[in-house]
Structure formats: structure tokens, C-alpha cells
Structure 1
Amino acid sequence: MPALCRDCTTLLDKSGPSCPVCGGRRWVRHAELADLTIAHIDCDAFFASVEKRDRPELRTMPVIVGGGQRGVVAACCYQARIKGVRSAMPMFKALALCPGAVVIKPQMSKYAEASRAIRTLMMDLTPLVQPLSIDEAVLDLSGTAALHKAPPAAVLARFALRVEREVGVTVSVGLAPNRLLAKLAVERDKPRGFAVIGAAEAATLLAPEPVSVLPGVGPVQARKLQALGLVTLGQLGSLSPREAAAKLGEDGPALAARARGEDRRRVDPARDTKSISAETTFERDLRAVPELEAVLWRLSEKLARRLKEKDFAAGGVVLKLKTAGFALRTRHARLTAPTRLPDTLFAAARPLLAREADGTAFRLIGIGAQPLLSGDGADRGDLLDLESPRRAARWNAMEQLRARFGEAAVMRGIVAKRG
């Protein structure tokens, strides 16, 4: 059976307990190892790993990246995960589970820099790189063996070692014939893992797994499937297209196919960004409209910057609120024309907030752009809004002043009044 030494990236027809080239013992063995081309790369506990890279004294300690007592966990290292800490968990719960953890406020610019460095290394492997998040991407290495003088498996092992050496964090690799199986593979071996799922074994390997392991199947859908007697992927995958449609609706046949490991999605470097948003969790619950509006304005400015950075415009806004009891509320409003100006975003979200701010205590507020539109047509003005170009010019001037003299150089009255 083909075997790959992950320590020196030598590919052999068979292997013993240690590599005859380097003496390493980290082997990947699989019958289809030399033929598979789709890889899912996932950085291990990315934010926490970057922090440990920069602060070696924390290497053996549990680290949580997140807000204060009122915030949530953005990321945590594996020592903290062993204690039960998870991403998106309220910080007070995380600290109750792991009281000795070191809590570090997120530094997104630093994580973005590390992400860009890793993305650059990915592009050295293949132009077919589809980012999925700041710490995750899927790659198609079809046709690259001649260029790299090695099959994709060996190229990916070299890549993982290079990331460790040049960026200072570790990654896990899932290798498979399609995107779904590559994602499932990477989840099987973390951290610093390298797992393979082949086409021939996929249906059999997945059959005993619970339906909840399938990406996109959340707790609610899993319970619905279980209520229908579909507890495992094998049971779900055994449905014919007609049976799946009858039991699960029009999406049923596709879901059953995914349960068998089938996936026709291509790796698409030009995949559209699905959403852009900005949100914050308060240090204390807020009820008063003026306080909530002041925060909403700051988030509108942040959203406007992100839209400009990614060359998008908002065709509408989504207001997100989370109550003190963790109940989530989302409200939508369409815009008459595409925008990436904060005052237009704020003006659309403000009435939505006014209807919800009825004395309820809120712990979180956010604003997002939906739908996302091309930035080309943003804020050009029309007969209904002749001032848009002028407001766009004022906003750009304000941003230039802030870039030179700091964020506090220019402030809107709604923020200044709140101090």
C-alpha cells in the first residue's frame, strides 16, 4: 500500500515502522494516496496558535481568545478544548470550565497577516484555491504533479511543514476525491493531522456515522432526520431519489447523495463572498435607545469600511440583536440603491432598532449587508438622492483624516455625546 512519510515527504510503495530515509514515524497510508487531488486545509486553533507563536511562554498553557466576562470565545487552544471550552461559548462559561486559562483579546490584524502568508503558500501549489474563512481553504491540485514533480499528497505534506517553519502555526490536511470528503477527512485527524478518504471506501466508511457529522446538518435538522428513523448516514444514503424527495422534500435527493459521500462542487477561487457584517457584545446589557444607537453607528462605520475593502455594496441591511437571555432577533430592510456609506446603512437600520428597543435588555448588536452587490454602482446618486456623491466625498475625507491622525480625529455627534 502506498505510504507517505510526513517528516521528509518521501512517498514509498510500502512502509515499515520508521521511514528508511529520515527515520520518521509519521506515516500516511492509503490505497488511493497517489491519485487524490482535492484537499481541505484547516489551521489548528488558529487564533490561539498565533498567540502562542508570539508568546512562547504560553505554549503549554490553556489559551482562550475572546472578550471580557460579557463576551464569547473567538477561539481556544486544544488544552482548553479538553476542558470543554468551545468557540462561540459565553466567556463566563468557558472560564468556569477552565479557570486557569489565559484570556487574550483578539488581534484580528495579526491573524489576517498570518492568514495571508498561508494563502500565499497555498497559491504556490495551485491557482485553484478557494478560501472558506480566515483559517480554512479548499484546494484542487489536479494536473500539478508534473509541475511539482510529486503527487498532491507529497506536495501537501511539504506545504504543512513549510507553514510550520515560515508562519509558525500548524495545519491539518484532508485529502479526498471531492470537497465534502476532504472536509470530513480533515475533521478526523487534528491537530497537525493528515487524513485521507478515498472514493472506493467513502459510502462504507460514512455509513455508521451519525447524520450530524454531515456539514450543513445542524442540531434541528439532525433531530428531524432522527425522528424519521434516519439516524446514520448509511440510513440516509440508502434512500432512493424518489424516497428522499417524499420524506425530505426537494432537497432530499441531494442530501442523500451527500450522505453517500457524493459531491459535484468544484473548487472555485472566484466564489462570491456570502456576507459582510460587524457586531459587538456589550460589557453590560443595554436598554436605552441612545446607547444602542451610538454603538449601531460605530458598527455602521465598520461595515462601510469592510464593504469598501472588499469592493462590495449593500443592497439592504440586516440588524442583529441578542437579548440578555440569549434570544436572537434579526430584522431586514431593503435599500433603494446600493451603498457603502455608513450614514445610509445607519439610516436603514435605525428604524429596525427603534421597533425592537422597547425596554428589552440586549447583550449584542450587529449590522450586516444583505444582499451583497458589486461596489461599482454604489452611492452614485439619482433623482431621489442627489446628495449621495457629496456624502461619499465627505466620508472619504473623514477616513483620510483618521488614517493620518487617528480614529478620534473626526467623530460624529451621536458617538461624541455618548463619550
Structure 2
Amino acid sequence: MTSTTLVARREQALGAGAPLFYNEPLHIVRGEGVHLFDADGRRYVDMYNNVPCVGHAHPHVVEAMVRQQGTLNVHSRYLHEGIVAFAERLTRLHPAGIQSVIFTCSGTEANEVALRMARMATGRRGIICTNATYHGNSEAVGKLTRLGAEQPAGGDVRAIPFPEKLRPIVPGASDAELCEAYLDRLRDAIQHLERSGAGLAGLIVCSILANEGLPDIPDGFMARAAEMVRASGGLVIADEVQAGYCRTGRWWGYEVTRFTPDIVVTGKPMGNGLPLAATAASKALVDTFRARTRYFNTFASSPLQAAVGMAVLDVIEREGLREKVAAVGAALKAALTQRKGRCALIGDVRGHGLFIGIEIVTGDGSPDRERTVEIVNRIKDKGFLTSNAGAFGNVVKIRPPLTFSQRHAEEFLDAFDATLDDIDG
């Protein structure tokens, strides 16, 4: 079957407009480790998917999934030691203030639980996010997606400019001055919510601003922003769906950007492909949420989720993936940064661990989304799968499974160089 035929069937079955990557969509049929294989048997290095964080079809995870499904899988209204042990293990990866967990099936759902938790705990409605973020697809969480910096009076969501150094809101400012300028915008948003009557329930932010394009954040901003939110009676929600599980070379993105959250949301990587997400917080916050909602999810807090979630943590720890991510990611980022000086298309290289963004620009330094899309498609044809992202869609997004090695990085660099040569000479 041709890809054209399959696309036509897909649009009939799923509805026209369901997103697909690349100008010529790939028909992927198998995955193994960091590789994906199409229907013709061609192998690609997966440099985008953080869902299979310990690699596609990892045997330890597959075995745990099969064993548990062959033994028992039920909803959460029965006692099961596995899910309790998994929750205990997950909370031990966070600071002492994170003590309890609500399991869900997606990052969207986990973020919605976090928003509801903050609103219940504070008795207020107002939520602050950045103006180029994404936290999920539901009606409530979707209100946060790519808002403008100014919201209508009376709304319960306010957006602030995401903090960055490349295109700062105060050109020419020092790092300290820039930090203050962004904090002023946060202060204004808090005051607006207070004047509107909504009040401040919380700030939700991806710990490394992944969807914003992994910007370099003015030093100290995240910690001081968290302090400001708490001083105003709000809670700080760290969305770790992309940043967590050692993606940055640390367990959590908030360790890299140096702040302490009140609520932590995790998702995609937790189940290595099995739907699994979590909202973790203090026992007091979780108890309040449970008392007021009697929250229940048929497929969450299941023995299957627990078995697979434990297996993923086993692999990360046994294979030393956190340390490998830090080393391989640092070397890859350094190599790409060297290329920045040699290629006018590269405006910036940013990121942490195995989450790197390459900003593609025009001759005057403006974002070049069209050229970024071209690079992504050309490098796909050379066997490496990336995508474009960021506030302007002009960042080549590199986010491979954590098992990605130095050899894979070197192969990618050769393909990347050849791609730039094809485009820019």
C-alpha cells in the first residue's frame, strides 16, 4: 500500500486535518532502541520522540507489560501493592515536600488535575502561564496555549512573555536588568488577577520552557518568580512532561533551572508508550483534592501502569541513563555550537542534556520557519527524524530516547552538515 493511499484512508477514518509530520509522511511499522523502521524497511534514527524514553520496545519494559497484563489488570478500587510502591518510588525522586501522587493517563489530564488542585487549595481562580506555551488539549488546559501577552479584563488566565535572552523585552539590558523586567511582567499579571477578583491560584510553567524553544532564561528568574507567586498566595506548578525523567541530564528540569515547585506534573516518558501520567504534590494538597472531587480514572492507578512505570525507572537507574544523557548531550550541544560560528543559518544553539534546539534565522537574524521546515524534511531523507518547534516554529527540535549514544550523535552531525551544505553551501 502506498503512503498516498494510506493518507486517504486515514483522512476518511480519522477525519481530515489530523496532523502528520513531514512533507512526505512516513509509514512507520516498527521500533527498536533509538531506531524506527518504515514499511519499506528503511531505518531512521529517532531524534524526536520522548515517549519511548528508554528506547522503542525495550525488552525489560515489554516483559513487565506482558507479565502484568497476563496476571492482572483492574481499576484502582482494589488494593494493589504495586501501585502503592510505584507512587512511593516516584515521590522519593522529588524533594521532601512532594509526598503523594494522583495517577492519570495523559499530560493533559495531569495538568488539569494540577490546575484544579491549585484552585481548590487557594480558593482562587487565576492562573498565569507564558505566552508561547502548551500544556495540553482539554478545554480547561487548552486555554493556556499560545496566548497573547494581554488578556481580556475579567479572565482567569493571564500570560506573561516567556523569559529569554536572545530576543529580550528590553534590548541591551544586563542579565540582572532583564530578570527584573520579566519579574515586573509577572508582578503586573498577579496584580491584574487580584483586581479582576479572580486572585492568583498558581503559575504553571514547563521547567525548561520547551515549547517556547528552550530559551536561555535570565539567571535567577525561575526561583524569584516562584517566590513572588508564593508571596502572593499562589502555588507553583512545574510541568515536567517534557523536561522530566532525566531528559536534561538531571531527574527534573526544575533542578536545572533552579526552583522548587509545589506541584509536579509528569507524563509521556513514564510508561515508555503505555498511557501514564501523574500529578505529585504534598499530602495536604492531594488530600484536599481527593476530599473535594472523589477523583477516579478507570485506567489510572492500575497494576499495569505500576508494573510498566517501575520497569522504566529500573532501566534508567540500571543503565545509568541520567549520566549518559548529561555526557552525550553536552558533547552534542558543544559540537552544534561550533557550527553556529561557521553557518549563518544557525542563530543559536540551546538546551539541556538530550533536549537541544537549533534556532534557524535569516540573514538579519529574524526567525526563519520556512528554512527550518526544509532542514527537518531534508535531514529526514538522510535518516534522522526531528521536527520544528519554538515560539516562531524556527527551532530544530532534538529530543531522542535517553539511550541515544555518542555514535548516534556523530552520525547525526554528519547528516546535519550535509543538509546545511545542500541548502547553504
Structure of higher CA gyration radius: 1
Fold in common (TM above 0.5): no
Provide the TM-score with structure 1 as the length reference: 0.27
Instruction: Point out which structure has higher relative CO (alpha carbons under 8 A, 6+ apart).
Output: 2
Structure with a larger share of its residues in strand: 1
